[in-house]
């Protein structure tokens, strides 16, 4: 479990970006649910925590593909692959992320676990 942020620090409708590798976005929906997904859009290197949260969907701020926070599925191009979803635990007012064991679907040019090789 990775501590993300205190629940009190994440109002409904807001996102918190967890700067791990690869980064994770934690969302607090207007309905009071907490979800965690990979923060990077699968189409291009954009931070989904900067996107637009509506219900259980987060819209990428750059090209408007929308990801379902519950499943990671994407609704329409330009993104084609889903983002990973992560487990969330809230304990003693603290939000924790339980990272997925699946390989991430990162966009071209973004790699996890090692320094980026520029070409």
Partner 1 sequence: MTSSLLATLSGHLYTDEDVFALEQRQIFESMWFCVARADDLAGPGAFRTVQVGRESVIVSRAKDGATRAFLNVCRHRGARLCTEESGQVRRAFQCAYHAWTYDLDGKLIAAPNLTKMPDIDRVEHGLVKVHVREWIGYVWVCLADEPPSFEEDVLGAVVTRLGDLASIENYGIEDLKVGRRIVYDVKANWKLIVENFMECYHCATIHPELTEVLPEFADGYAAQYFVGHGAAFGSGIQGFTVDGSPGVDRIPTVAEEQDRRYYAITIRPQVFVNLVPDHAIVHRMFPLAADRTIVECDWLFLPEVVESGRDIGPSVELFHKVNVQDFDACERCQPAMSSRAYARGGVLVPSEHHIAGFHDWVLERLGLPR
Q: Which residues bind partner 1 (CB under 8 A)?
A: 17, 23, 39, 44-47, 50-52, 61-63
Per the CB < 8 A criterion, the answer to whether 16 and 49 are in contact is: yes
By C-beta, is 21 or 91 nearer to partner 1?
Answer: 21
- Comparing CB distances to partner 1, the nearer of 62 and 94 is 62
Minimum distance between the CB of residue 14 and partner 1, rounded to whole angstroms?
13
Closer of 1 and 12 to partner 1 (Cβ): 12
Query: What does residue 22 show for φ and ψ, rounded to 5 degrees?
Result: -75, 160
Write out the DSSP string of 58-95: EE-TTT--EEETTT--B-STT--SPPPEEEEEEETTEE
Please report how close the Cβ of residue 91 comes to partner 1 at its closest, in angstroms. 27
Shortest spacing between CB 28 and partner 1, in angstroms: 18
Residue 116's CB: how many other CB atoms inside 10 A?
A: 10
């Amino acid at each position: 479990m990775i501590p993300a942020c205190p629940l009190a620090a994440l109002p409904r409708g807001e996102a918190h970006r967890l700067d791990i590798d690869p980064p994770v976005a934690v969302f607090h929906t207007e309905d009071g649910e907490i979800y965690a997904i990979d923060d990077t859009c699968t189409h291009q290197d954009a931070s989904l925590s900067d996107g637009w949260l509506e219900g259980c969907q987060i819209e990428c701020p750059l090209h408007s593909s929308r990801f379902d926070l519950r499943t990671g599925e994407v609704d329409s191009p330009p993104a084609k692959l889903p983002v990973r979803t992560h487990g969330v635990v809230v304990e003693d007012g603290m939000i924790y992320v339980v990272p997925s064991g699946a390989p991430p679907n990162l966009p071209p040019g973004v790699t996890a676990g090692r320094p980026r090789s520029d070409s």
